[in-house]
Amino acid sequence: MSLLLYTHPACLQHDPGAGHPECPPRLAHVLDALNDAFPALAWQTAPSAERGQLARVHAPAHIAGILDTPVHGHLRIDPDTLLSEASAEAALRAAGAGIAAVDAVVSGAATRAFCAVRPPGHHATHDAAMGFCLFNSVAVAAAHALAAHGLPRVAIADFDVHHGNGTQDIFAGDARVLYLSSHQSPLYPGTGAASEHGVGNIHNIPLRPGAGGAALREAWGEHLLPVLDAFAPQLVLVSAGFDAHRLDPLAQLEAETEDFGWLTARLRQLAERHAEGRLVSLLEGGYNMQALRECAVAHVAALAD
């Protein structure tokens, strides 16, 4: 099959508490919208990531803190990030979805995959959970592609409105992984300056509040996609956050649903040019339910045949 969808019921059980924007209905809306729009697409059950797979990008103490800490009710990690009793399994399934999707596209069982999972991951650093994120699922997927499949060049494209500081933190010293990000600045977490280059593998395009779809398309079309093209990745991973949409309550960019479809199609084209089409996307942010539904459908439509 050309496109597989991954999810797990446990991802709906992670509960950060009443009023938290990263809430279970986010994923419920995505699943509902995708099932309505693509009834013929195959859903796969996300497996649990193993500790050894997480340890490729996370410190043992961080892994143990998420998986082994007793939780009764809620446990606050930072002002924005909480654990509930179901959070550990949800985080394992979210990371496991990325691993399984990488296995599927590298083996040829599928060409592309979208992981409809939560909690998101791109803020989680080597040794800390933060910004709603427990494990960095896209980083775990990238490390799995490097270690288990021996791919020498993996690219991560991140268009979430918040900079993926955790992903950058994990791979800033690893030239095998290219990290590309457009994001609003100033905004949480305060990283992602254009001057941050890692070992030449980090490329950030900060966008000012109020920037719209034209600015997003210019950032990718004129700057980031040419870098991706020159890198010639053998696998493209996507941190698919839809909170740069004009309706999102947590940021001030003005992108439209169509902009995410355009960008997804361009990423797919580059995956087809360099990586035999292999592309794995993982859901990150997006906190307006209607925009999240629309953008998820536009994203998957651009991935599907």
Each residue's pLDDT tens digit, 118-131: 999 999 999 999 99
* Res 7 pLDDT > 80: yes
**What would the mean pLDDT of 67-87 be, rounded to a whole number?**
96
Extract the tokens encoding 234: 């053998």
Residue 1: what pLDDT? Answer: 66
Q: What contacts 171, CB < 8 A, 6 or more positions away?
A: 139, 142, 156, 177, 179, 198, 201, 202
User: Number of structural domains, the chain?
Assistant: 1
**Contact present, 129 and 77 (Cβ < 8 Å):** yes
Name the token pair of 236. Answer: 């493209």
Q: How many angstroms separate the most distant Cα atoms in the chain? A: 50
The distance of Cα 290 from the centroid of its chain, to the nearest Å, equals 19
Q: Helix, strand or coil for residue 216?
A: helix
Alpha helices, DSSP H only, in the chain? 24-37, 51-54, 60-67, 87-107, 137-149, 165-171, 213-218, 225-231, 257-274, 289-303
Taking residues 75-97, report their average pLDDT. Answer: 97
Neighbours of 301 (CB within 10 A): 14
Among 1-5, 76-80, 151-155, 226-230, name the one with the lowest average pLDDT.
1-5
For the record, the structure tokens of 177 come out as: 């992984």
Residue type at 167 in one-letter notation:
T
Q: Give the CATH number for residue 234.
A: 3.40.800.20
Domain that holds residue 86: 3-303
Q: Is 223 a catalytic residue?
A: no
Q: Tell me: pLDDT of 42 over 90.
A: no
Q: How confident is the model at residue 212 (pLDDT cuts 50, 70, 90)?
A: very high
**Count of other CB atoms within 10 angstroms of residue 12:** 18
Which of 122, 123, 245, 274 is the catalytic position? 123
Residue labelled with tokens 């593998």: 201
